[in-house]
Amino acid sequence: MTIDQSYNFRRIDDRVTTSGIVSRQSLQQLSAQGYQAVINLLPDDSKYAEAGEADLVKTQGLQYVYVPVDFAAPTHEDFAAFAAAMDDLEGRRVHLHCAANFRVSAFYGLWAEQRGRMTAAEADDLMRGVWNPDEHPAWSRFLAEERARFARRD
């Protein structure tokens, strides 16, 4: 199983892919597929987490970034850590994942919007292609707060 067979897989471009649950087998093949890094937003205590993921990734020589995001309560600090990791990994081939590609599509969409890589409408389309954040009050509130925070910086 390759990473593109992961749950809710999306190819953003030739360097960035996103998904939900990843299998042990797909993680073991990341280096062979040309990936250089993984960002995992799924808390290790989730029933969907792959045990030993960090070691599987690191033993292939890939960079591993772990930002556990509580789905019921995403925070600015979570997003800031994700954004810093994305900035640090600029130009590398990276796979981003969580349980269902909900956290990841929201965080990536916001990051891309803030970096001028996507419009707000494109970021929303990315998310809504996977899920509807309006059905989760914590997420609709989080998205509005992050967008307002960014607008104040302009």
Each domain of the chain, given as residue ranges in start order, spans: 3-153
Helix axes 102-114, 120-128, angle to 10 degrees: 170
**Confidence band (pLDDT; 50, 70, 90) for 1?**
confident
Query: What are the CA-CA distances from residue 128 to residues 43, 47, 53, 62, 123 (Å)?
Result: 23, 24, 28, 30, 9
**Confidence band (pLDDT; 50, 70, 90) for 154?**
low
Q: Just give the CATH number of 3-153.
A: 3.90.190.10
The string of pLDDT tens digits covering residues 64-123 is: 999 999 999 999 999 999 999 999 999 999 999 999 999 999 999 999 999 999 999 999
Q: For residues 14 and 36, is the Cβ–Cβ distance under 8 A? A: no
Q: In the chain, where does DSSP find H-type helix?
A: 24-28, 53-58, 76-88, 102-114, 120-128, 137-153
pTM for this entry: 0.97
pLDDT in the model for residue 124:
97
pLDDT in the model for residue 77:
98
Query: What are the CA-CA distances from residue 104 to residues 40, 60, 152 (Å)?
Result: 9, 23, 24
Rounded CA separation 82/40 (Å) = 9
